[in-house]
Amino acid sequence: MDYTESFLEEYLESFDRLKRKDRLQSSLPLPTMSEIKNLTVSLMALFFPGQRETMDKAVLKLAVSESYHKASSILMDAAFKAIRYESPDKSQDLCLEEAEGYIKHLTAKLPEIRRLLKLDAEAGFDGDPAARSVHEVILCYPALHAITVHRVAHELFREGLPIIPRMMNEIAHSQTGIDIHPGAEIGESFFIDHGTGVVIGETTVIGKHVKLYQGVTLGALSIPKKDTLSETETKKRHPTIEDNVTIYAGSTILGDITIGHDTIIASNAWIKDSIPAESMVITARPEIKVRPIRREE
Amino acid sequence: MDYTESFLEEYLESFDRLKRKDRLQSSLPLPTMSEIKNLTVSLMALFFPGQRETMDKAVLKLAVSESYHKASSILMDAAFKAIRYESPDKSQDLCLEEAEGYIKHLTAKLPEIRRLLKLDAEAGFDGDPAARSVHEVILCYPALHAITVHRVAHELFREGLPIIPRMMNEIAHSQTGIDIHPGAEIGESFFIDHGTGVVIGETTVIGKHVKLYQGVTLGALSIPKKDTLSETETKKRHPTIEDNVTIYAGSTILGDITIGHDTIIASNAWIKDSIPAESMVITARPEIKVRPIRREE
Amino acid sequence: MDYTESFLEEYLESFDRLKRKDRLQSSLPLPTMSEIKNLTVSLMALFFPGQRETMDKAVLKLAVSESYHKASSILMDAAFKAIRYESPDKSQDLCLEEAEGYIKHLTAKLPEIRRLLKLDAEAGFDGDPAARSVHEVILCYPALHAITVHRVAHELFREGLPIIPRMMNEIAHSQTGIDIHPGAEIGESFFIDHGTGVVIGETTVIGKHVKLYQGVTLGALSIPKKDTLSETETKKRHPTIEDNVTIYAGSTILGDITIGHDTIIASNAWIKDSIPAESMVITARPEIKVRPIRREE
Amino acid sequence: MDYTESFLEEYLESFDRLKRKDRLQSSLPLPTMSEIKNLTVSLMALFFPGQRETMDKAVLKLAVSESYHKASSILMDAAFKAIRYESPDKSQDLCLEEAEGYIKHLTAKLPEIRRLLKLDAEAGFDGDPAARSVHEVILCYPALHAITVHRVAHELFREGLPIIPRMMNEIAHSQTGIDIHPGAEIGESFFIDHGTGVVIGETTVIGKHVKLYQGVTLGALSIPKKDTLSETETKKRHPTIEDNVTIYAGSTILGDITIGHDTIIASNAWIKDSIPAESMVITARPEIKVRPIRREE
Amino acid sequence: MDYTESFLEEYLESFDRLKRKDRLQSSLPLPTMSEIKNLTVSLMALFFPGQRETMDKAVLKLAVSESYHKASSILMDAAFKAIRYESPDKSQDLCLEEAEGYIKHLTAKLPEIRRLLKLDAEAGFDGDPAARSVHEVILCYPALHAITVHRVAHELFREGLPIIPRMMNEIAHSQTGIDIHPGAEIGESFFIDHGTGVVIGETTVIGKHVKLYQGVTLGALSIPKKDTLSETETKKRHPTIEDNVTIYAGSTILGDITIGHDTIIASNAWIKDSIPAESMVITARPEIKVRPIRREE
Amino acid sequence: MDYTESFLEEYLESFDRLKRKDRLQSSLPLPTMSEIKNLTVSLMALFFPGQRETMDKAVLKLAVSESYHKASSILMDAAFKAIRYESPDKSQDLCLEEAEGYIKHLTAKLPEIRRLLKLDAEAGFDGDPAARSVHEVILCYPALHAITVHRVAHELFREGLPIIPRMMNEIAHSQTGIDIHPGAEIGESFFIDHGTGVVIGETTVIGKHVKLYQGVTLGALSIPKKDTLSETETKKRHPTIEDNVTIYAGSTILGDITIGHDTIIASNAWIKDSIPAESMVITARPEIKVRPIRREE
């Protein structure tokens, strides 16, 4: 239609004008969210292969091998794109070699990750009176999905793979409402109940047997970015949560503080200072007034 | 590649080692999340068939019959798998017979569920000044999606169908941020505005004309699971909300208490004790200090 | 099966009975959520075309033209359905003409929307110490997805296109946990961190360089709908947030009040009155009691 | 683009001009080829349900019931459209009633059709030295696919269902190269080897235990259509093939003649006159000259 | 697995060895068959838009515009790839400009092509006593599909677009068994009955009102390619068929000869010499011997 | 509906009755045609990986590795099913071991198969004056598709893999109209022009540089199966075609005869006896009578 052509010209000129400033468009493609989504699907199947017709050892090997090859094939392709995008001057051979390096590293870690995920699933079962079986936890609890994606993304993030770990966690965030930065270090037997609204920041460190409820934030105090960019990238800005800590719904823990081991934090607490081990943290509840209603507010 | 083969061996051995302990892998397949997602899609089409070209009575019958057969076909298959998984010693004939029993039960309830959903949609329209029509509520409000799935899942849960009701509600949770356990009993003309972060626990009982806002938790006080497993499964652990109650955003109601009818609870309240009927519950707001800014915190 | 036939009869009768009252079933189809979801996918590709093999200007034109035609083709079809549904007595020619009017209007706005989105992306990068590049913000931050959809939906809403803008925002809500009503006016360089649970109401007005965190509500005080329906549709019920305001996680701002420019609001604040410009709003934190744990609560 | 708009105007005018003459565009939609393709897929699954994990009787019932409901649901929808298109003045209720009549008729015939298909499969096995099992015939022989579709299409064609039977056979034609008009009557234990290029005309009658090879035509002599339209529709124009006849590759049988039972027709025969029963028909092969080659033709 | 790695090395080396000789792998991608298949689907929808809910003029414009944009978007992308592949040294801008030139040329021809296709459909209806309506011809006759694809491919081939016209016709060949080289010139009111096995060569010229049956070959006499490559590309090697000619099933017409107008050629004829106008060509049928069968051959 | 239930009962009983006789339904699933279709797609990508953005060696390795893993994963799964189906008493471990054996065997053959396919493609280019490039042959010639599938299927057939090789060739047959039994042995530089209707039987042996045209049959003389079943399985029943033979369209060569090297066979020949080497076989064309037409036949 008539307005189409003039629109396209003007719209494309706007790319030119804006590109000079920050080159939002690179000349090479990044992996897409849907590729990374398929990666997370293959990883779930790799760790929890219980969907095929029978699970005798022979068939299990078939299923696991298939999921492994699918996941590593997607990751290989995506890692190659991400590395090349980040460093357009690297040779293609070098990009591929590095991509294969990430696969090798991750492959070596898979048995350990699976061991951790089984402990996470058991922690979920032990911690929720409504859970009927470990299988229900694996199938139906968003936390296990988010943690599975995180444990893989974290390994790749630590090794320095660009952008893909963040994409992985954002996919899990979109599906579960649980937002875990791939930089966070999380110990074994971790669980989150319900989970919507949980935020776990980049430099968070979490010990063993920690349990969170929905709406918990493990965040940073606000830091102006401009002046401290290189510093903020390395500096610890988020809490350390020691072993056996439980944090109830809606609590906010901010800054590089430490919540000592075997501590319980009640819901809706707001904490900016370290808490000693074996504490019970109770919030003084805001008083409520109950008065007979008169149908207006 | 070289590391692949050794990985597969090691990885599979880890299944062996771990299986002895808790046999995470059963020998029979469960329904998959994507099957159950298709089930919820068919159910939405069954209750709200307004997408076909014309909706004269004749065509309506065609559309409804199609959705019904699709939904019952998926459910039949999934229920069969879930029952057989749960009771591997049952004969296939018995599993199928039981699966058909669930379909029959649900079929008998469908007209009543549809009646309830229409009341829910109207409650949504009446309760939101921004709603332009009941159709907008049906199409655009996540609450109606979550409630539709819940009302069906609840029927199946009550009859004892394993795992599928929980899968259904987790799908709705992932799509809407509203987490309703299929055990919860919910009366007519129920609505939730916005909805993200709402959690409704397994033994919650909700009366008629109740309205919730985003971030409301109807939860349990923490109970150690180990010692009380059989007890917790039957015991009421969550609140009872009587008729005509409104609960504003972010409030938390915990434990087997009762919120009396015709009560309004302000946002961010934290309640562990019963509230008499016809009350207005107001939170003493935490004082805020407003001071001129000096650009540092 | 036997119960099927009788079910269908009864179920369809229930449509008859209920239809008389509120004709939930219209005789003409509405656009479906999956059509509108495809629309949002095409819009994302139109604004951020960085996924194709190369991005030289020539290829960029190809990519942009393809996305534009896809988006406008879906919108044309959906707008036609929405208008015809809303006004069944309009001629088809008139419905199509009006649908094309919406496309023209939106087309004229696209370069400006893209300019705004680039500023939003830069604001996200500047505001998050964890962001490694603007591209990471575009790919991985749910806020940018929600804002992109909103900026388009808002244009269509302002022009009066029925129901589609609401469907668009509900799709973004489902994917990001960020719920922005298409009526809200939002200035340039806007950003939301994490985002889960954010609610922005219909008559909200937001200035430039505003930043929100997860769980922030910009809502209305409760108004009974029945008596004031026509009034509520036009009246401003939600806050005005002036330039350079930052609102931390979990804060609730209610009613037609004004938060003055250059103001910072701490997390979990609850505000019903206007705040002067250049203020720092600090919540008196509920005191916490920390006591040695004794393993019971 | 500039030429787009003017093209659309001119192109649409061409619809106007041409419509007056023969109204190629009706105002109501027909079933699509892809709908009918799905129908044939469901029918194959209904007759040969051997793809599911186990085939105990209980599971078989599940599989068959699912395929039956899928096939009848697609056919219901398609038949409704075809009837309404053919008779735009019929009420929707009547169209639906008639559509259901076709389903009922076909349902009653299904056990008999399945019996015939098993005999066809056995005939294929018996007739091809290369066949290793009846299952190979079912899975791998295009003839069985074409015959399955034909036996269903023929029932619907005989009852008068418009256009759908022809669409069904054209789908099988496209997939197998075997072109059987739905009007053809075909007896039990029928088989076609290889099949590419086989054509069987509308009024053909085929007895029991008939076998065809690739490239066989059972056609009509040329008849000018104009003057005899009503007559040609009813008149028998194609051959009758009696029981136990075998026709080798590439033979052409034309007109309303009879090939008597227990006859064998050699390949590449060209026959316009009836052949008595128990005949062997041998073609005088065109002489070949074999001479030493001299590398030019 | 162990053999995988060594296989990949050896397999890739074989690419190296072979590449030197004929560089089967170019460094730039070609359009894929599935892209071109989608193009043919869009073209069918553009010419025969009769599948949407209503076909009033307004809606027709919508449907046609959508199909046009889809088809031209796919073609633009594919043409760009094909041109760049053919001429890797051309600038991207030039490739795109040329691609757009093909679209413009084709767009200008579309009304004429549609006019021709309507005449083809009518010719199909007039020529087959079994056809019940022109709509049946459009939906169910493979010939119309093959001719539609050909008429578009021919326009693009004549303008010099590389490889895509051949891909288009090969897709139609795979679906219909009708193999028309895009170079063939075909006049109006053309039809092919059944069609399986028809071959029409590159330099064939066909007049108006020509009708072919299945298995007809319009081919070339064998020419050694090596010595005459440039010559063969331009030289006419296939027959000219004048107006009003009918050629029955299985006939073979070879070489640059002319079949005069108003001629009928019987089935299975083998013709290497021109035939004068208004001829009836009858094949002396190979005599058949009919003898009583004795159950051995 | 009412007739549904009684239909299902009767229909299922018919399974019972018929099963006793030949147990068409086994208790274990076979691979499906769509799985095997995906296998052929992956194989095409493995041999002709020219569709990705660039084809430098590094990226080539990535593409080839991906296709290889996809193809071997599908084949592993399908082979396992086929073996288990064929020998229900084998242990699952043994079935898997055997399946892996087929993969290993095929993997070792892949470089040789690719070498052959390149020669086939070049033969296609050399033999068709209309071919513009080897790439056009690879993309657009059905013969290359059929031969690719055949060369893989033949390896698997020779090793004894049940049913899958036949399924592979039937898929190629459906897509190309070329029907090659996987048992046929075919030498290098083989090509088929157009191809529709070609049939190559199980025990055919074809030398190097052989070229066929459409409609050529290399078949068996008819043998009654019953009495000679075990014999027919092993006995050579089809022709041997020596090196450098060309067979033109529509010729039929039957029985275990030999066509000597460097021979040319004209179209439509019918041959049951061996032909010496270096022969030119010319068919005495059936005389045609050309007479002035009188507009009736």
Residue F295, judged by CB atoms within 10 A of its CB (0-12, 13-18, 19+), counts as: exposed
Residues of A in contact with D5 (CB under 8 A): 1-2
Structure confidence at residue D27 (pLDDT): 57
Find the closest chain A residue to F92 by CA distance: A58
Confidence of residue C215 (pLDDT cuts 50, 70, 90): very high
What are the residues facing F271 on neighbouring strands? F253
Confidence of residue F1 (pLDDT cuts 50, 70, 90): very low
Structure confidence at residue D297 (pLDDT): 44
Q: What CATH code is carried by the domain that includes residue B289?
A: 2.160.10.10
Asked if B165 and B75 touch (Cβ cutoff 8 Å), the reply is no
To test the contact with chain B by mutation, choose from D54, D59, D64, D90 the residue with the greatest count of B C-beta atoms within 10 A, namely D59
In a domain? residue E121 = yes
Residues of F in contact with A59 (CB under 8 A): 80, 92, 96
Structure confidence at residue D183 (pLDDT): 97
Our CA-based measurement puts residue A283 at a distance from the nearest CA of chain B, in whole angstroms, of: 11
Q: How many helices (H) and strands (E) does chain A have?
A: 8, 15
Tell me, yes or no, whether D80 and D212 share the same domain. Answer: no
Residues of A in contact with C247 (CB under 8 A): none
Tell me, yes or no, whether B96 and B158 share the same domain. Answer: yes
Asked if D74 and D43 touch (Cβ cutoff 8 Å), the reply is no
Find the closest chain B residue to A73 by CA distance: B1
- What is chain C's mean pLDDT, rounded? 86
Residues of F in contact with A56 (CB under 8 A): 92
Residue B227 pLDDT > 70? no
Tell me, yes or no, whether E253 and E297 share the same domain. Answer: yes
Tell me, yes or no, whether F162 and F211 share the same domain. Answer: no
Residue scoring higher pLDDT (C10 or E205): E205
Option in A170, A278, A283 nearest C142 (CB): A170
Check: complex ipTM more than 0.85:
yes
Asked if B55 and C26 touch (Cβ cutoff 8 Å), the reply is yes
In a domain? residue B14 = no
- The predicted model gives F277-294 an average pLDDT of 84
Structure confidence at residue D162 (pLDDT): 93
Query: Do the Cβ atoms of B183 and A130 come within 8 Å?
Result: yes
Tell me, yes or no, whether C214 and C295 share the same domain. Answer: yes
To test the contact with chain F by mutation, choose from E1, E280, E287, E295 the residue with the greatest count of F C-beta atoms within 10 A, namely E280
Confidence of residue E197 (pLDDT cuts 50, 70, 90): very high
Find the closest chain A residue to D53 by CA distance: A53
**β D288-292/F279-283 pair status:** antiparallel
Task: Using the 3D structure, point to which of B145, B177, B209 is the last residue of a domain.
Answer: B177
Query: Do the Cβ atoms of A92 and F61 come within 8 Å?
Result: no
D249-268 tens-digit pLDDT: 999 999 999 999 999 999 88
Query: Do the Cβ atoms of B64 and C252 come within 8 Å?
Result: no
Structure confidence at residue C3 (pLDDT): 61
- The predicted model gives B235-253 an average pLDDT of 95
Tell me, yes or no, whether F170 and F216 share the same domain. Answer: no
Residue scoring higher pLDDT (D5 or F184): F184
Confidence of residue D4 (pLDDT cuts 50, 70, 90): low
Find the closest chain B residue to D64 by CA distance: B73
In a domain? residue D228 = yes
Find the closest chain E residue to D24 by CA distance: E135
Which tokens belong to F125? 């280019």
**Cα–Cα dist D150/F28, whole Å:** 28
Query: Do the Cβ atoms of A12 and C291 come within 8 Å?
Result: no
List subunits contacting chain A, requiring 3 or more Cβ pairs under 8 Å.
B, C, D, F
Our CA-based measurement puts residue B194 at a distance from the nearest CA of chain E, in whole angstroms, of: 35
C-alpha A195, offset from chain centre: 12
Residues 6+ apart with CB under 8 A from D250: D213, D214, D215, D216, D267, D268, E250, F250, F252
Residues of E in contact with D202 (CB under 8 A): 130
List subunits contacting chain C, requiring 3 or more Cβ pairs under 8 Å.
A, B, E, F
Structure confidence at residue E134 (pLDDT): 84
- What is chain E's mean pLDDT, rounded? 86
Query: Do the Cβ atoms of C297 and B121 come within 8 Å?
Result: no
Structure confidence at residue F268 (pLDDT): 87
Query: Do the Cβ atoms of D285 and F279 come within 8 Å?
Result: no
Give one DSSP letter per residue of chain C, joined into a string.
-HHHHHHHHHHHHHHHHHHHHH--S-SSPPPPHHHHHHHHHHHHHHH--TTSS---HHHHHHHHHHHHHHHHHHHHHHHHHHHHHH-TTS-HHHHHHHHHHHHHHHHHHHHHHHHHHHHHHHHHHHH-TT---HHHHHHH-HHHHHHHHHHHHHHHHHTT--SHHHHHHHHHHHHHS-EE-TT-EE-SS-EEES-TT-EE-TT-EE-SS-EEETT-EEE-----SGGGHHHHHHS--S-EE-TT-EE-TT-EEESS-EE-TT-EE-TT-EE-S-B-TTEEEEE-PPPEEEEE--S--
Query: Do the Cβ atoms of C292 and A279 come within 8 Å?
Result: yes
Tell me, yes or no, whether C275 and C259 share the same domain. Answer: yes
Structure confidence at residue F197 (pLDDT): 95
Query: Do the Cβ atoms of F221 and E32 come within 8 Å?
Result: no
Query: Do the Cβ atoms of B262 and A121 come within 8 Å?
Result: no
- A–F: how many Cβ contacts below 8 A? 51
Structure confidence at residue B24 (pLDDT): 41
**β D279-283/E288-292 pair status:** antiparallel
Tell me, yes or no, whether C127 and C215 share the same domain. Answer: no
What are the residues facing D282 on neighbouring strands? E289
**Cα–Cα dist B158/B174, whole Å:** 23
Residue F270 phi/psi, 5° resolution? -130, 110
Query: Do the Cβ atoms of E107 and D183 come within 8 Å?
Result: no
Our CA-based measurement puts residue A56 at a distance from the nearest CA of chain D, in whole angstroms, of: 15
Which amino acid belongs to residue A86? E
Tell me, yes or no, whether C195 and C163 share the same domain. Answer: no
Residue D81 pLDDT > 50? yes
List subunits contacting chain E, requiring 3 or more Cβ pairs under 8 Å.
B, C, D, F
In a domain? residue C195 = yes
Find the closest chain D residue to B66 by CA distance: D73
To test the contact with chain D by mutation, choose from A4, A51, A56 the residue with the greatest count of D C-beta atoms within 10 A, namely A4
Confidence of residue D75 (pLDDT cuts 50, 70, 90): very high
Our CA-based measurement puts residue A13 at a distance from the nearest CA of chain B, in whole angstroms, of: 36
The SS3 of residue D146 is helix
Name the residue among F262, F174, F185, F249 with its Cα closest to residue F217: F249
Q: What's the total number of domains in chain B?
A: 2
Residues of F in contact with A93 (CB under 8 A): 57-58
- E–F: how many Cβ contacts below 8 A? 181
Taking the CA atoms of residue E50, residue E54, residue E57 and residue E61 in that order, the dihedral angle to the nearest 10 degrees is -60
Tell me, yes or no, whether C189 and C251 share the same domain. Answer: yes
C175-196 tens-digit pLDDT: 999 999 999 999 999 999 999 9
Query: Do the Cβ atoms of F12 and D57 come within 8 Å?
Result: yes
Option in F132, F285, F292 nearest E270 (CB): F285
Residues in chain A with pLDDT values less than 70:
1-5, 16-27, 50-58, 223-234, 294-297
Neighbours of F233 (CB within 10 A): 13
D14-66 tens-digit pLDDT: 776 554 344 444 457 788 888 999 999 999 989 988 655 455 666 777 788 88
Query: Do the Cβ atoms of D66 and B76 come within 8 Å?
Result: yes
In a domain? residue B13 = no
Query: Do the Cβ atoms of B70 and D65 come within 8 Å?
Result: no
- The predicted model gives B260-269 an average pLDDT of 93
Tell me, yes or no, whether D54 and D78 share the same domain. Answer: yes
In a domain? residue B279 = yes
Query: Do the Cβ atoms of C93 and E54 come within 8 Å?
Result: no
Asked if C292 and A279 touch (Cβ cutoff 8 Å), the reply is yes
Tell me, yes or no, whether A139 and A235 share the same domain. Answer: no
Residue holding tokens 């966070």?
A184
Task: Using the 3D structure, point to which of F177, F197, F232 is the last residue of a domain.
Answer: F177
Quick one: which H or E segment has residue B179?
strand B179-180
Our CA-based measurement puts residue A160 at a distance from the nearest CA of chain C, in whole angstroms, of: 12
Our CA-based measurement puts residue B26 at a distance from the nearest CA of chain C, in whole angstroms, of: 32
Query: Do the Cβ atoms of F289 and E270 come within 8 Å?
Result: no
F193-229 tens-digit pLDDT: 999 999 999 999 999 999 999 999 999 987 555 544 4
C92-146 tens-digit pLDDT: 889 989 999 999 999 999 999 999 999 999 999 988 887 888 888 888 899 999 9
Residues of B in contact with A65 (CB under 8 A): 8
Residue B17 pLDDT > 60? no
> What residues of chain E have any CB closer than 8 angstroms to a CB in chain C?
29, 53-54, 56-59, 61-62, 65-66, 69-70, 73, 76-77, 80, 91-93, 95-96
Query: Do the Cβ atoms of D24 and E121 come within 8 Å?
Result: yes
In a domain? residue D6 = no
Residue D177 pLDDT > 90? yes
**Cα–Cα dist B60/B52, whole Å:** 9
Structure confidence at residue C63 (pLDDT): 82
Asked if D202 and D180 touch (Cβ cutoff 8 Å), the reply is no
Option in B174, B263, B284 nearest A286 (CB): B284
Task: Using the 3D structure, point to which of D156, D177, D198 is the last residue of a domain.
Answer: D177
Query: Do the Cβ atoms of C141 and A170 come within 8 Å?
Result: yes
Find the closest chain B residue to D63 by CA distance: B77
Q: What CATH code is carried by the domain that includes residue F101?
A: 1.10.3130.10
Option in B29, B232, B284 nearest A51 (CB): B29
In a domain? residue F12 = no
List subunits contacting chain B, requiring 3 or more Cβ pairs under 8 Å.
A, C, D, E
- C–E: how many Cβ contacts below 8 A? 51
Query: Do the Cβ atoms of E1 and B2 come within 8 Å?
Result: no
Range of the domain at C258: 184-297
